[in-house]
A and B are shown apart, each in its own frame.
Chain A
Amino acid sequence: MTRVPLRPLARIIGARAAGENPDLIERENIRQRHEVMRDKARQMAEGRLLVLGALFICGFVLIGARMSLLAVSEPQEPRTIASSTTITAQRADIVDRNGRVLATNFDTHSLYVHPQDLIDREGTAKQLAAIFPDLDEAELLKDFSGKRKFLWIKRRISPEQQQAVHDIGDPGVLFGPREMRLYPNGPLAAHILGGVQFGREDVATAEILGVAGVEKFFDDYLRDPAHGGAPLELSIDLSVQAAVERVLYGGMRLLNAKGAAAVLMDAHTGEVVSLASVPDFDPNNRPRPLTEGDQADSPLFNRAVQGVYELGSAFKIFTVAQGMELGLLNPETPINTSRPLKWGKFEIGEFQNKNYGPTLTASKVIEKSSNVGTARIALDIGIKRQKEFLGALGFLEPTSIEMVEAPTGKPLLPPNWSELSAMTISYGHGISTSPLHLAAGYASLLNGGTRVNPTLLKQKTRIQGERIVRPEVSAAARTMLRKVVTQGTASFGDVQGYAVGGKTGTADKPRPQGGYYKDRTITTFATVFPTHDPKYVLVVTLDEPIETSGTKPRRTAGWTAVPVAAELIQRVAPLLGLRPEVEPGVLESVTLASSN
């Protein structure tokens, strides 16, 4: 507040005294003050306007300078991908144990359309429909005329199709590079490899995701760029796999079976050299899963890993071996095989109601496949010890094989493991396992007695598993199995020179509604060869085989699974590098000639 000096007031008093109007003086005072204020304000405004002008000039210069900097910098190619996450389409190859390619990548193209860029919509639709018979011309034209600015036509096209589409010559039809998973061996090892599908995709690239088998199990590994594209080495041997699939398919057709599975495993390392399930499929064109009915009927179903069956008498060797391991018996111990063996209201009999007399030696129990004999041994072993032994062999949980399907091959166990269960399980009934379980169990028991875990990866070193049985027991079990082939139920399985030993198993198929079919069997032959120096374990399983060469249809393993397995060994053993051993000749027949 500016103080007004007293003098004007003095003037007003003077004016009053003089009779003049003092308002005039006051107005004059205000005018003067106003003028002073105005001059001050103007001076300040002048300075501030100057500042403002300078700021504006700075602003304009800044914009000009910035624009000049932009103008002299290099123009940027517009990039197509603007998303922050890039899609890595590099997927590692999968090779067999000898480095032969099982799965690789192939550069191909996808086909898409920018309808707004199409010059001749009708013509393009017509020609595309001619190139791809599964496309509908009217449908295409409708899509082209709609509001959509982007349209996938085909996810993958062949080079020939690409050329044909290219020849249409319409600028609205475009190709995007695609990496495609290729299985050059077609359906070979289809169940192991599984398959892939496209994940996220854009115009420039697409993600490839495994959907089944090894492709899915090792999906992260295969897609991880950190491995530098090093291929995934499987334990599979491609030529062995081819032979196994061929023979198995032939066996299935000859024996009118619904399906068949085979597992060939290195007895010491657990490496699966071949794993086959027929019918199979082509992973390059993976069929859709069944939408109705039993998934087990789909070609996608892997009988060797996912299928759990009562594998029958092939289990007997485990019971006898455990008896030997526990010191309850030796191969020559007589076992009471008098029948019937009654347990409560159940009665355990022999296959096809045979009668093996009052006693058999333990070795003969295996050779003749006596249910009563093994059941009695199981009673001596007891529930707890039987359960522990089977658990140690891996029969109580899914296999640890590197396939996503492995957990679905969960063994079916009796809900209440009673003594009756123990007796039936001793000869392979009342417990359902996959053929792969059986192969791993045989390998663990017969390789000298150390546990193996089935694996699909090529092993660099042999890891000694935990001991299951003593080596002597393992050797004795092998001798028994050899006798099954030379003298017992699997006489068709004696392949010259490979000292095959094995055990048959024939189990009636369970009805879905309970009880068992009379005329449908699962037949199994589990073998180890050579028995004196175990190298490989082979399990062959046939689903509902019928051998019709005789007067009556035969459904036992000895007539079905055994000949198939023998043929397999015959074909596969040389590929595995096993030399046939000439049987020691009968010395008497040799004439030793001497020159003198």
Chain B
Amino acid sequence: MTEMVHGAIPVASSDPIIPRWWRTLDSWSMSAVFMLFAVGILLGLAASPPLAAKNGFEPFHYVQRQGVFGGLALVAMIITSMMSPSVVRRLAVIGFFCAFIALLFLPIFGTDFGKGATRWYSLGFASVQPSEFLKPGFIVFAAWLLASAQEINGPPGRVYSFAVAMVIAFLLAMQPDFGQAALVLFGWGVMYFVAGAPMLLLVCMAGLVILAGSVAYSQSEHFARRIDGFLATDVDPTTQLGYATNAIREGGLFGTGVGEGQVKWSLPDAHTDFIIAVAAEEYGMVLVFFIIALYATVVVRSFMRLMRERDPFIRLAGTGLAAMFGVQAMINMGVAVRLLPAKGMTLPFVSYGGSSLIAGGIAVGMLLAFTRTRPQGEIGDILKGRTR
């Protein structure tokens, strides 16, 4: 027996990393993300040549860039999803502080690319928007604080995380980037809701948000113009929204056909904010429904898996990331159909974008890491005879 043990090759105690990753991963969600990326490339082939022509590039310049950044984003997603929740938490919190500092220095070193809001760092070959990286980092950090507040003798994490959320929202609103600010507050609110917010407080919060919105409306011209455009009963067909609405009408159920769309020629943001209009025009409602189904798959499946999760931190962080992902898609599409006021929000993985794509990949990677199946003490429950 001894020779069999002594000098034997060490064998891992559990199964290898990749099979275990694949076995525990929410592969449906990951497939949905891959498909979204594929749809994004498909639409980019249609939507970006006009822009490339305008900027003097070869027709598929932006598709190539999207392919490169998308590839990097998917790699980042897979690597992140392989990490254990504690590693994810550690890296995300470090990343959060880096991004926060970057956000602080944005007014000094950032550029606005002539769009009226200083949101980017220009790196020459690409631009980086720190708020894109800040969002997932903040979610993880806030989830950690909220979860620690649930420990007996834990820190007052709710107050701390709320303070952090407010500071970030304030910094973003100063850029001005009300969309991201609202998204950060929304992410925190969702986590707080799941962490057990009292109902009365939720109602008060809703009132506060409305108040803040009206203050922003009366104070910021940038904000007021967009709201006014939304509230106008008759959409002016020469505005972006007018073009988008017309494109959706032109498309109908099955679309005008590949490459037959017109809206990409009129809309400057056809490849980013209004990509759903291009999808609706060229491929019709069929593709739009498919895209919506993909987003719903990721969000709902993540929620289902998180319902079984016993670790409060993982549950909260996962909830926040999934909600952010879903809401960003919803806002983008809601703007195109005029359910929401115009807001520069990209469609995750579908819209063209460099650093935001990678940030999105990391965020979804974290989500996948959190939703992996892991022992939840069910055996212990059974042994102890507890039922839920």
Contacts and interface: CB of A to CB of B under 8 A. Distances in A.
A481 to B, nearest CB: 70
Contact of B246 (A33, A50, A72, A78): A78
A74 interface: yes
Given A64-B292, A67-B280, A49 B249 contact: no
Interface stretch (A40-48, A125-133, A259-267, A562-570): A40-48
B249 A70 contact: yes
Contacts of A71: 248-249, 251-253, 280, 284-285
Interface string B242-259: 100110111111000000
B196 A45 contact: yes
Contacts of B20: none
B151 A34 contact: yes
Interface string B307-332: 10110100100010001001000100
A76 B250 CA distance: 9
B330 A63 contact: yes
Interface string A45-85: 11011101100110110111011101111111011001000
A79 B315 contact: no
A332 to B, nearest CB: 84
B195 A53 contact: no
B288 interface: yes
Given A45-B195, A48-B194, A70 B299 contact: no
B303 A52 contact: yes
Contacts of A41: 150, 195-196, 312
Contact of A64 (B196, B284, B289, B309): B289
A72 B292 contact: no
A60 to B, nearest CB: 5
Nearest to B151: A34
Secondary structure of the B contact surface, majority rule: helix
A206 to B, nearest CB: 20
Interface in A15-57: 30, 33-34, 37-39, 41-46, 48-50, 52-53, 56-57
Interface stretch (B104-112, B333-341, B349-357): B333-341
Given A63-B333, A73-B249, A74-B249, A45 B190 contact: no
Nearest to A59: B330
B307 A49 contact: yes
A354 to B, nearest CB: 81
A72 B238 contact: no
A416 to B, nearest CB: 63
B388 interface: yes
Contacts of A67: 248, 280, 285, 288, 333, 336-337
Contacts of A33: 152
Contacts of A39: 388
B156 interface: no
Contacts of A45: 194-196, 307, 312, 315
How many of chain A's residues touch chain B, expressed as a range? Answer: 35 or more
A75 B246 contact: yes
B207 interface: no
A46 B307 contact: yes
Contacts of B284: 71
B304 interface: yes
A53 B246 contact: no
B139 to A, nearest CB: 14
B334 A63 contact: yes
Interface in B145-175: 150-152
Contacts of B336: 67
A39 B194 CA distance: 14
B326 A56 contact: yes
B295 interface: yes
Interface string B213-257: 000000000000000000000001110001001101111110000
A57 B299 CA distance: 9
Contacts of B250: 75
Residue among B196, B309, B337 with the highest chain A CB neighbour number at 10 A: B337
A43 B194 CA distance: 10
A72 B312 contact: no
A72 B248 CA distance: 9
Given A49-B303, A71-B280, A63 B152 contact: no
B193 interface: yes
Contact of B337 (A46, A70, A74): A70
Contact of B330 (A46, A60, A82): A60
Nearest to A34: B152
B206 interface: no
Contacts of A48: 193-194, 196
A77 to B, nearest CB: 8
A48 B253 CA distance: 35
B257 to A, nearest CB: 15
B248 A56 contact: no
A71 B337 CA distance: 10
Nearest to B376: A42
B194 A49 contact: yes
A52 B280 contact: no
Nearest to A83: B236
A82 B232 CA distance: 13
Contacts of B330: 56, 59-60, 63
A168 to B, nearest CB: 25
Interface in B36-62: none
A68 B246 contact: no
B253 A63 contact: no
Nearest to B285: A71
B117 interface: no
Contact of B296 (A43, A49, A60, A73): A60
Residue among B284, B285, B303, B333 with the highest chain A CB neighbour number at 10 A: B303
B300 A53 contact: yes
A75 B336 CA distance: 15
Interface in A391-425: none
B369 interface: no
A459 B295 CA distance: 79
Contacts of B309: 42
A30 B194 CA distance: 23
Residue among B253, B284, B299 with the highest chain A CB neighbour number at 10 A: B299
Contacts of A38: 150, 310, 312
B366 interface: no
B306 interface: yes
Residue among A34, A38, A67, A74 with the highest chain B CB neighbour number at 10 A: A67
Contact of B236 (A44, A59, A60, A82): A82
A56 B296 contact: yes
B306 A49 contact: yes
Residue among B193, B250, B307, B388 with the highest chain A CB neighbour number at 10 A: B307
Nearest to B299: A56
B142 to A, nearest CB: 15
Contacts of A64: 288-289, 292
A63 B337 contact: yes
Contact of A75 (B249, B310, B339): B249
A542 to B, nearest CB: 61
Contacts of B242: 78
A41 B195 CA distance: 7
Nearest to A78: B237
A64 B253 CA distance: 12
A78 B338 CA distance: 18
A88 B306 CA distance: 64
Nearest to B236: A82
Given A30-B152, A45-B196, A52-B193, A72 B296 contact: no
20 contacts: A34-B152, A38-B150, A38-B312, A41-B312, A42-B315, A48-B194, A49-B194, A50-B303, A50-B307, A52-B190, A53-B303, A56-B296, A57-B296, A60-B326, A64-B289, A66-B338, A66-B339, A71-B251, A75-B246, A82-B237
Q: Please name the 6 residue pairs, one residue from A and one from B, whose CB atoms are nearest each other, closest first.
A: A75-B249, A53-B303, A78-B237, A66-B337, A70-B248, A60-B296
Given A38-B150, A72-B252, 14 more contacts: A34-B152, A38-B310, A42-B312, A46-B307, A48-B194, A50-B307, A56-B303, A56-B330, A57-B300, A60-B295, A63-B337, A66-B338, A68-B285, A82-B237
